[in-house]
A and B are shown apart, each in its own frame.
Chain A
């Protein structure tokens, strides 16, 4: 029996005669809980609904292939450069953050354990997940953009910084789930520690790591603030991530949302639909991968 049970509840439990008010309170509580769920579902439905409804009209082949229109207030043009920008910048960020994140997690779980350095790194990684994305953007602005100018790579650096702590923490959790007996079996066959990690531990944790990585990528793809300070604005397709400004879907939505022009706002909805589709696809894929891994472990 919990010794923290509120005295009035304790009294109620022992006193059966006031049952009507107890039943009433229970019912109110149930209404509250279910109501809370509905309250959360409503905005989700509204947002997704509007995005779908208002954005679908924009989607066409031209949407994916054409450059942004030169005159903002007019319709026409497409989001090609922004789509490419989002994918390219996020991809480069992932290429930097994934190896670093996985190696860092390997250090934390396979070598560091409970030591002071490991605990410090773990703590700081948690702190880093809470750093607002705008601060990451300002940070990269000060160390990269001021020196090397507006380009896609600055955006990748900022997004990579956002992804890194997430990948480290989720990968560490997955490594923890790999049973120690597998490592022992590998050592007993005359395998070194680093090769054990690469040939036994990582493959065993692969599904979970992939799922965590995809969630980190999905989050990064949707970010706006870090890109605003670092990638500039471009209307045409720029595939060179190191040279010259680029654009991205999130930045386009932000810019177009602030204009009073119908056509621009319509483009914003289209871009929102595209972005949400990309992000949802990755999130759902991540869930599918992780539930398949869970099923395999249960078997």
Chain B
């Protein structure tokens, strides 16, 4: 929590136009985040911090809103008509949902890798070059492409067929291609929404190693339904679960506990967390 802000008055908060001061290594400061689809509250009361050059994992049973929360960080939820957000996500002190902000700019700094690899039906080269070309970079992109592919541990496998279609790669290769594609636009943060769930164990292991390498340059948020993966890979973990709303017979996701990964998996504070990580349910 930010040491400087001691209970600011409502007035002061409303008038704040400069970025709010936060500790320098906190990339995201999420405060009282609720996500609605229309009238239905899908997730409530999320409070957490994401630290620079760390891997932060969201775990929990399916349907508890982990992906929904993740997609708030790059405003991908905007693509759903009825989606609405209450509360704040401060990115280096700036509220991502400030009306002045263009979501397109947000996504250039906060990239995303999806559950199912989704390379464009273009050549490997054009996939990677796609992002930089958006910024009007028409020059020689060979260096950019090579560096992104090296960083994603894919260069040696594809360097001789950059002009071939990306659709010819295996699933694991395609996912690393998507990571390289995201890296090529030089984001600060990479969001990963269950990046390994469509891959076999060997491909999964390669990507987990890759994440460890990447965190020295990037900040990574990952949603995973595989809690062993979270335990292996992440520095901090947030555990979500669902609550049943008896009147409307719906379920709302809620953040139960957020702490360092060691603590979550060895000595969780909340009983629900303990039940989940020890496999008693979920």
Chain A residues engaging chain B, CB cutoff 8 angstroms: 179, 181-182, 184-192, 195, 199-200, 203-204, 296, 299
Kindly provide the distance from the CB of A185 to the nearest chain B CB, expressed in whole angstroms: 5
The reply to whether A184 and B122 form a contact with Cβ atoms under 8 Å apart is no
Chain B residues engaging chain A, CB cutoff 8 angstroms: 74, 76, 79, 104-108, 111-112, 114, 116, 118-122, 130-131, 134, 167, 178, 181-182, 185
Interface centre among B74, B112, B121, B182 (most CB of A within 10 A): B121
The reply to whether B120 and A190 form a contact with Cβ atoms under 8 Å apart is no
The reply to whether B120 and A184 form a contact with Cβ atoms under 8 Å apart is no
Residues on A with C-beta less than 8 A from B106 are 190
The reply to whether A181 and B118 form a contact with Cβ atoms under 8 Å apart is yes
Residues on B with C-beta less than 8 A from A179 are 118
C-alpha spacing A179/B118, complex, angstroms: 9
The reply to whether B134 and A181 form a contact with Cβ atoms under 8 Å apart is no
C-alpha spacing A179/B178, complex, angstroms: 16
Indicate which residue in B108, B120, B185 contacts A185 across the interface (CB closer than 8 Å): B120
Number of A-B contacts (CB under 8 A): 59
C-alpha spacing A203/B123, complex, angstroms: 12
Indicate which residue in B108, B114, B118, B122 contacts A190 across the interface (CB closer than 8 Å): B108
C-alpha spacing A200/B114, complex, angstroms: 17
The reply to whether A182 and B107 form a contact with Cβ atoms under 8 Å apart is no
The reply to whether A299 and B76 form a contact with Cβ atoms under 8 Å apart is no
What does DSSP make chain A's interface, helix, strand, loop or mixed?
Answer: helix
The reply to whether A190 and B130 form a contact with Cβ atoms under 8 Å apart is no
Q: Which residue of B lies closest to A185 (CB)?
A: B118
The reply to whether A184 and B104 form a contact with Cβ atoms under 8 Å apart is no
Residues on A with C-beta less than 8 A from B76 are 184, 187-188
Residues on A with C-beta less than 8 A from B131 are 189-190
The reply to whether A190 and B112 form a contact with Cβ atoms under 8 Å apart is no
Are A195 and B120 also in contact (CB < 8 A) when A187-B107, A189-B107, A189-B185 are?
A: no
Are A299 and B134 also in contact (CB < 8 A) when A181-B118, A189-B107, A203-B122 are?
A: no
Kindly provide the distance from the CB of B128 to the nearest chain A CB, expressed in whole angstroms: 11
Residues on B with C-beta less than 8 A from A191 are 104, 134
The reply to whether A190 and B134 form a contact with Cβ atoms under 8 Å apart is yes
Residues on A with C-beta less than 8 A from B108 are 189-190
Kindly provide the distance from the CB of A290 to the nearest chain B CB, expressed in whole angstroms: 16
Q: Which residue of B lies closest to A179 (CB)?
A: B118
Indicate which residue in B112, B120, B167 contacts A200 across the interface (CB closer than 8 Å): B120
9 cross-chain pairs, A with B, having the tightest CB-CB distances, nearest first: A190-B108, A181-B118, A188-B112, A190-B107, A189-B131, A185-B118, A190-B104, A204-B121, A191-B134
